[in-house]
Amino acid sequence: MLPFEEEIVERSVMVRAGSISVRLPKQDDLIILKAVAHRLQDLLDIRAIIESHPDPNRKRIEFWVRQFAGILEMPELWLDVADLSAEDGRTQR
């Protein structure tokens, strides 16, 4: 596994839904995963996550999305997330 993947698992939380327990990523890790997937629906999901949880770990998001953007040679990965999170006035490029 990549270091990021190991961190996601370590940071994840167990959530119980009825008789089922599911391990879910933290909101900032989910934003990172969706930024890398980078489909239109993922960008809409990122906006919704930020609206419903306005205080994700922005430094962590920026660090990892920039890492993936560099590896994939896709600067738009970070630029699009920065634009989405800047809409609430909290993050800058």
Determine, yes or no, domain membership for 2.
no
Determine, yes or no, domain membership for 5.
no
Determine, yes or no, domain membership for 47.
yes
Determine, yes or no, domain membership for 80.
yes
Q: What is the pLDDT of residue 91?
A: 42
Domain coverage including residue 82: 26-86
**74: which DSSP letter?**
-
Both tokens of 7, joined, read: 């961190």
Determine, yes or no, domain membership for 43.
yes
Query: Total structural domains in the chain?
Result: 1
Determine, yes or no, domain membership for 91.
no
Dist CA 12 CA 93 (whole Å): 27
Determine, yes or no, domain membership for 52.
yes
Determine, yes or no, domain membership for 19.
no
Tell me which residue of 66, 89, 68 sits closest to 79, measured CA to CA: 66
**Residue 48: pLDDT band by 50, 70, 90 thresholds?**
very high
pTM, two decimal places: 0.85
